[in-house]
Amino acid sequence: MTRNRLNHSNIDNILIRSTNWVGDAILSTPAIRAVRKNFPAATITILAKPWVAPVFFNNPHIDNISIYDGTGKHKGLAGKFRLAKALRRTKFDAVILFQNAFEAALLAWLAGIPMRVGYNTDGRGLLLTHTIAVNTHKKQIHETEYYLGILNDVGLTTSGRNLTLVVSDDERVQAGRILMKYQLEPAEKIVGISPGATYGSAKRWLPERFAALCDRLCETGGVHLVILGGPNERAIGEHVRKLMKCPAINLCGRTNLREAAALTEKCSLFITNDSGLMHVAAALDVPLIAIFGSTNPVTTGPVGINSHIVRVPVPCSPCLKTECPTDHRCMNEITVDMVYEVVEGILGR
């Protein structure tokens, strides 16, 4: 541990390489806060893909956000060298890699960053100056602890698992405008629904059960339903809406991530699969029901006292597959009654 300790002296300019998924990026925010705690006077820059970067807007622990445009100016080998050259000009003293791929370490090495910290995943150990082994324990802990483990293993202090996602006042106003466009007042009781999941259908509860759950919520009265998700989830959002007997607003693919976060913040309850928006709701302390099937709530479950998980343990779960090769029993065995019982506990019905 002593040999691998990161020397605090002369570290004034730090680069953090973000993960490439929204949920993972949110789960890395406790570690980002810990970096700031250890280096209060340093300039901290985060390097992130365009779809992930909005997670870090308004984050008080970050000074700069640099975009890694892998489909544009940083595409291909020439683009990687272009990005490395730009990073080299910034003269970072150290880089902390939350992203596990070989490419992340290669970019840091090409950029000439003298201290390069990260896990020895993907065969990249020789490119790092501070290499951290991924043992069996590291694969079984929650993802927030996984990122914090990078800091712990180089002698830095950490400060809890609380997530950081900051919605600005202007974003709240914009969310209110969106709701009013659909004749909803922001003060009304809104239940957010997120029936999609980017990783694959194995993570998705059945659309007809989402619809049946929403209809039951409507029958009790007093709630308005808003379906949220990304551009690739517009079809499943519309499918759920059409299966419902009661009215709902499908905003899947019609908002950007910041607008979706601001709308989620206005919800009295958010019901979702294991998805990026699940972690958005958890970070904003919105009462949350997360439906888990193929993935592992021990490692990627939502963080926070307002988060509730509905799951039926079956022998083949967690399989971590994108598509179920058999009967999707992990989701088929979760009934509408099971989820509604948790709803009643939260909304006091």
Average pLDDT over residues 269-295: 97
Average of per-residue pLDDT across 298-313:
95
Q: Which two tokens stand for residue 221?
A: 């009265």
Q: How confident is the model at residue 188 (pLDDT cuts 50, 70, 90)?
A: confident
CA distance 272 to 260: 13
User: How many residues does the structure list for the chain?
Assistant: 349
3-state secondary structure at position 19 = coil
Specify the DSSP element, H or E, that contains 120.
none
Instruction: Tell me how far apart the alpha carbons of residues 16 and 257 are, in angstroms, rounded to a whole number.
Output: 21
Task: Give the span between the Cα atoms of 166 and 169, in whole angstroms.
Answer: 10
Worst-scoring range by mean pLDDT, 34-38, 41-45, 71-75, 106-110? Answer: 71-75
Q: What is the pTM of this model?
A: 0.95
Lowest mean pLDDT among 29-43, 178-192, 228-242: 178-192
Q: Which of 212, 249, 253 is nearest to 233 (CA)?
A: 253
CA distance 284 to 303: 10
Question: Is pLDDT above 60 for 1?
Answer: no
Q: Percent of the chain scored above 70 by pLDDT? A: 99
Q: How big is the chain by its Cα radius of gyration, in Å?
A: 21
pLDDT above 50: residue 2 = no
The whole-chain average pLDDT of the chain stands at: 94
Tell me the HSE value of 43 on the side-chain side, using a 13 A CA sphere: 10
Show Cβ contacts of residue 83 under 8 Å, excluding neighbours closer than 6 positions: 68, 74, 107
Type of residue found at 95? V
C-alpha to C-alpha distance for 11 and 307, rounded to whole angstroms: 37
Domains of the chain: 13-152 (3.40.50.2000), 169-347 (3.40.50.2000)
Give the CB-side neighbour count of residue 245, counting CA atoms within 13 A: 8
Average pLDDT rounded to a whole number, residues 74-81: 94
Whether residue 229 contacts residue 194, with contact meaning beta carbons closer than 8 Å, is answered with yes
Structure tokens at 63: 């000074």
The yes-or-no verdict on residue 289 having pLDDT over 80 is: yes
Q: Which of 243, 242, 273, 245 is nearest to 339 (CA)?
A: 273
pLDDT score recorded for residue 274: 95
Mean predicted confidence (pLDDT) in 266-281: 97
Q: Which amino acid is residue 22, in one-letter code?
A: V
Give the dihedral sign, CA 309/313/318/321.
Answer: negative
Question: Distance between CA 203 and CA 264 in Å, rounded?
Answer: 20
DSSP label of 66: E
64 has pLDDT over 60: yes
CA–CA separation, 205 and 272 (whole Å): 9
Mean pLDDT, rounded, for 31-52: 97
Query: 3 pLDDT band (50/70/90 cuts)?
Result: low
Contact 168, 20 (CB under 8 A): no
**pLDDT at site 88:** 97
Cα 79 from Cα 75, distance rounded (Å): 5
Distance CA 292, CA 274 (A): 6
pLDDT tens for residues 119-170? 999 999 999 999 999 988 898 999 999 999 999 999 999 989 999 999 999 9
Three-state DSSP class for residue 308 = strand
10 pLDDT more than 90: no
E strands, 232-273, are 249-250, 269-273
